[in-house]
């Protein structure tokens, strides 16, 4: 994970830039919120000019889009504020227009932004995973049902849930006079953007409308408070667990070690199995029969980015020596 | 699930990424400096928090509160207090 800790950042403090990446039509502007400098994955606030037209097309990586103001329309449908898209790699979208302009949040999870004109899906596209929902109109607020949970007054609408990694994208709100007196950290990276409202965290102070953070795992945040209410979009890159405590001065290393110790207390059998089978000298990537089948362990190690041995006694994180082969273009 | 469809990353895209990475570095530095400047306020916020969890309580789960005994309140370590990593 190569996104730095960007917290807090307020996009109102910077101006939009023209999107100049090849493939993207004219009339698209962006503010970079955070960028993975290894993969090009990024989060941006985007603004489509009045009269913007995007031809039918697809992206090489999955893309999430959340409309905050204005609207996008296709021949069939108008996508108003609250509309959320999760478009898997290679799934083509119809022509989209923004007759009166539109401001949205755009996220690429695994690679740099790309747009390729196409009126059909790529052969590897998984169209059944395409998600389009209007979070404002079609969904209801629910309480966060994690244990331990955030205080009452923090409500969510889950827009996407990745069954494999448990990463999820959610709209959340804090009601006026919300407060929660604990310090939290997670095993996952956490990201959020304030669509409206100001909330406060003990480490970073007030985060206003347009406020954003990308927070790597194990970083303390909280206590929390919100005077007038906040509406925000949040995302994680894997399972979110609230590790609560009240020591303001712990480091991410100490937090991670505590998380590992808690894992031993909560799942002793599993912890010992991993310790036995996944130790440094005998790396073994566990096989998930649901996803990996009876797969080749070496291929599975690659799929998960897990360090492993090529039989020569050296551990490799990935085959960085052959980037060109891995990025070979496939016809669409 | 396919995460990324293999494709060629053009020189133009690489240059864009390089520029964005450099700008992000500057953004990060600015954040670190701003957060450093917030230290005196933060120390006060922390003192208030440690007081509240003893009087009103610490949120163990949802609205379940526990009043933390004075003996359990952590002491500020000598090392520098960082919040951005
Ligand atoms: Fe969090």
Report whether pLDDT(A316) > 70: no
Per the CB < 8 Å rule, is A111 touching B52?
A: no
pTM above 0.95? Answer: no
Per the CB < 8 Å rule, is A37 touching B24?
A: yes
Ligand 1 centroid from CA A186, angstroms: 6
Domains and their CATH numbers in chain A: 6-135 (2.60.120.10), 142-252 (2.60.120.10)
- Enumerate residues 6+ apart whose C-beta is below 8 A from B69: B54
Q: Give per-residue pLDDT as tens, A146-183.
A: 889 999 999 999 999 999 999 999 999 999 999 999 99
Residue B80 resides in a domain: no
Strand partners, A37: none
Residue A279 has what pLDDT? Answer: 64
> Which residue matches tokens 């570095």?
B25
Instruction: Dig out the tokens for A109 from the structure.
Output: 């999870």
Q: Give per-residue pLDDT as tens, A29-63.
A: 999 999 999 999 999 999 999 999 999 999 999 99
Residue B78 resides in a domain: no
Average pLDDT across chain A, whole number: 90
Residue B2 resides in a domain: no
Mean pLDDT for A264-283 is: 84
Count of domains for chain B: 1
CA A246 from centre of chain: 27
Distance CA A220, CA A76 (A): 46
Range of the domain at B31: 11-72
Residue B66 resides in a domain: yes
Residue B15 resides in a domain: yes
Q: How far is CA A250 from CA A219, A246, A254, B9, in A?
A: 9, 9, 6, 41
A252 touches chain B (CB under 8 A): yes
Residue B79 resides in a domain: no
Q: How far is B80 from chain A (nearest CA, A)?
A: 9
Q: Please answer whether residues A251 and A203 qualify as being in contact, where contact means their C-beta atoms are separated by less than 8 angstroms.
A: no
Neighbours of A154 (CB within 10 A): 21
DSSP A103-135: EEEEEESSS----EE-SS--TT--GGG-EEEET
Residues of B in contact with A246 (CB under 8 A): 49-50, 53, 58, 68, 73-74
Residues of A in contact with B73 (CB under 8 A): 246
Residues of B in contact with A22 (CB under 8 A): 10, 12-13
Residue B64 resides in a domain: yes
Q: Give per-residue pLDDT as tens, A201-247.
A: 999 999 999 999 999 999 999 999 999 999 999 999 999 999 999 99
């Amino acid at each position: 994970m190569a996104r730095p800790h960007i917290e807090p950042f307020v996009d109102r403090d910077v101006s939009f830039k023209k999107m100049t990446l090849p493939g993207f039509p004219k009339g698209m502007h962006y503010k970079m919120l955070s960028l993975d400098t290894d993969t090009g994955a990024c989060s941006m606030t985007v603004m489509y000019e009045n009269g913007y037209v995007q031809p039918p097309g697809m992206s090489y990586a999955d893309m999430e889009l959340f409309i905050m103001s204005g609207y996008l329309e296709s021949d069939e449908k108008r996508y108003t504020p609250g509309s959320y898209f999760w478009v898997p790699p290679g799934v083509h979208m119809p022509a989209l227009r923004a007759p009166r302009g539109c401001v949205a949040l755009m996220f690429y999870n695994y690679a740099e932004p790309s747009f390729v004109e196409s009126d059909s899906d790529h052969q590897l596209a998984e169209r059944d995973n395409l998600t389009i929902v209007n979070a404002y109109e079609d969904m209801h607020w629910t309480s966060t049902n994690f244990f331990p949970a955030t205080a009452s007054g923090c409500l969510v609408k889950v827009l996407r849930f990745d069954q494999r990694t448990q990463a999820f994208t959610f709209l959340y709100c804090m009601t006026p006079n919300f407060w929660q007196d604990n310090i939290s950290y997670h095993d996952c990276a956490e990201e959020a953007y304030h669509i409206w409202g100001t909330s406060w965290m003990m480490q970073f102070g007030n985060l206003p409308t347009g406020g954003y953070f990308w927070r790597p795992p194990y970083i303390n945040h909280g206590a929390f408070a919100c005077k007038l209410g906040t509406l925000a979009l949040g995302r994680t890159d894997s399972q979110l667990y609230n590790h609560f405590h009240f020591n303001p001065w712990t480091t991410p290393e100490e937090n991670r070690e505590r998380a590992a110790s808690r894992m031993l207390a909560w799942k002793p059998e599993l912890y010992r199995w991993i310790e036995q089978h996944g130790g440094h000298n005998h790396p073994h990537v566990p096989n998930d029969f649901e996803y990996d089948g009876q797969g080749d362990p070496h291929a599975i190690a690659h799929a998960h980015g897990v360090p492993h041995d090529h039989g020569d006694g050296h551990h490799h994180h990935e085959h960085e020596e052959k980037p060109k082969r891995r990025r070979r273009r496939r016809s669409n | 699930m396919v995460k990324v469809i293999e494709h060629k990353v053009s020189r133009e895209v690489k240059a864009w990424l390089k520029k964005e990475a450099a700008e992000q570095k500057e953004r990060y530095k600015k954040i670190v400096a701003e957060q450093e400047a917030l230290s005196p306020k933060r120390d006060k916020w922390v003192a208030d928090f440690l007081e509240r969890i003893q009087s009103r309580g610490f949120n163990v789960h949802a609205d379940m509160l526990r009043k933390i005994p004075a003996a359990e309140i952590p002491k500020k370590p000598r090392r520098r207090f960082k919040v951005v990593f």
